Amino acid sequence: MTTVTDQDHATDEPRVASGAERACTTQIDFARAGRVTPQMQAVAQAEQLDVEDVRQAVACGRVAIPANIHHAALAPAGVGSLLDGRPLSTKVNVNLGISGDKADEAQEWRKVDVALELGADAIMDLSNSGKTESFRRRLIERAPAMIGTVPMYDALGYLEKALIHITAQDFLDVVRKHAEDGVDFVTVHAGMNRRVIDSFKETGRLTNIVSRGGSLIFAWMEATGNENPFYEHYDEVLDILHAHDVTISIGDAMRPGSTYDATDAGQIAELIEIGKLTQRAWDAGVQVMVEGPGHMALDEIAANMKFQKRLCHDAPFYGLGPLVCDIAPGYDHITAAIGGAVAASAGADFLCYVTPAEHLRLPDAQDVREGLVATKIAAHAADIAKGVAHARDRDNRMSDARRRVAWDEMFSLALDPVRAREYFESAPPATEGTCTMCGAMCAMRTVNQLMDDNVVDLGL
């Protein structure tokens, strides 16, 4: 095992090993060559794990460290689990970006502020209106979080062409542009090929295709009669991603958009293709994450996590929900958090947040706060359940502060300190060392008095 210096990273130059050693560009290249990078060291330190265990997991694709060579501000994070099954902490992503119907760049920066304030591990810039380059580049310059994109969303604006006139090579140019700009991971819906489309058409669905990128590719395939360009030209996509160490997040264009469609032929047919594409990416030295459903009833989630991992060779799994019922618009951060907690405790490594605005409108900054905290709760609850190293430490410190009724300490340990303080200060208690929930009958205070002084002053 050798160590790679910082000079090999965070630079615009390709990371190429000297001498007779195989040229290394990506984290998986370095890991396979037995070389520890600063990114692997950072992940090991953050997760309190042995760096050699992290290196081995990266070499086998079990852990991805999305870290574009151009993203100098990045604080690297790992997604996945070690070879012995020990999981890294579950990561959380925030979606934002300038949308055509509500192109308000200032609002999107407020969302970035909320995401960074609350410790989002990743931000996906889903901008799809006009020239998106300046927002994306500024975000990459500024954010220590992993940055992801869906180049397909950007294709129409970047290329300034109608969908029907876009060529397969045009799509690849958009991917290349995002890679050159410093994006750490890209969602590419390469798995929805002709075989999958045939399966979908044959069996039908209640909600058809609900993936935005998937629906655009489907429309392009139907209009041109061609194969999915990201499937047909997958090797070229991998070459582009490898050159900049962009992790491919293989999108699930056929994710179920309703609990009725979950675990159906379309979803499984695509997953089988994604498993094959996962292996091809690893063979090309490209790091991989695999995306997953969607909407799904609670009792199907654990089994889905198992065969998702099985079919995709234990690649890190990036869950989009799943939303566990379909009738809660306005509260879908809760339906997604319930599903996310179950999914992550059963093997999902990375959760995409869902906000209360899901299915209804573009989220505002407050929606981002609500959605991110809900998803962080799901991720943390799962981390406790699946035994992530030291996951319980903060909970134990919070419980200790609660027993001592140490309010400032409680606020500082809260996932959302601002919200916790606002609630407490909105109703000052009459009895010091309590809150208005129980007032003078505060159980903590009563038992503390008994334990400390053997007297009880209920003040009644």
Contact residues for ligand SF4 (CB under 6 A)?
405, 434-435, 437-438, 442-444
- Residue nearer to ligand SF4 on the CB measure, 258 or 449: 449
Please enumerate in sequence order all residues whose Cβ is within 8 A of that of 134, keeping only pairs 6 or more positions apart, or say none. none
Is residue 369 helix, strand or coil?
helix
Nearest distance from C-beta of residue 440 to ligand SF4, angstroms: 9
- Residue nearer to ligand SF4 on the CB measure, 103 or 405: 405
Nearest distance from C-beta of residue 409 to ligand SF4, angstroms: 13
Which of 158, 156, 136 minimizes the C-alpha distance to 147? 136
Classify residue 81 by its DSSP letter: B
Nearest distance from C-beta of residue 413 to ligand SF4, angstroms: 15
Give Cα 159 distance to the centre of its chain.
27
- Residue nearer to ligand SF4 on the CB measure, 124 or 442: 442
- Residue nearer to ligand SF4 on the CB measure, 359 or 419: 419
Nearest distance from C-beta of residue 442 to ligand SF4, angstroms: 3
Q: Six-digit token pair at 161? A: 């062409």
Q: Contact, 318 vs 64, CB < 8 A? A: no
Cα separations in angstroms, 91 against 15, 181, 340, 378, 447:
26, 23, 11, 10, 38
Is residue 189 helix, strand or coil?
coil
Q: Six-digit token pair at 182? A: 């410093």
Count H helices, E strands: the chain? 19, 12
Nearest distance from C-beta of residue 436 to ligand SF4, angstroms: 7
Classify residue 23 by its DSSP letter: P
Q: Six-digit token pair at 301? A: 């989630």
Q: Contact, 289 vs 328, CB < 8 A? A: no
Nearest distance from C-beta of residue 411 to ligand SF4, angstroms: 13
- Residue nearer to ligand SF4 on the CB measure, 389 or 405: 405
Is residue 294 helix, strand or coil?
coil
Distance CA 206, CA 264 (A): 11
- Residue nearer to ligand SF4 on the CB measure, 405 or 414: 405
- Residue nearer to ligand SF4 on the CB measure, 38 or 439: 439
Classify residue 428 by its DSSP letter: -
251-156-237 Cα angle (round to 5): 45
**272: number of Cβ within 10 Å:** 15
Q: Contact, 36 vs 1, CB < 8 A? A: yes
- Residue nearer to ligand SF4 on the CB measure, 48 or 396: 396
DSSP-derived secondary structure for 408-419: HHHHHHSSSHHH
- Residue nearer to ligand SF4 on the CB measure, 33 or 435: 435
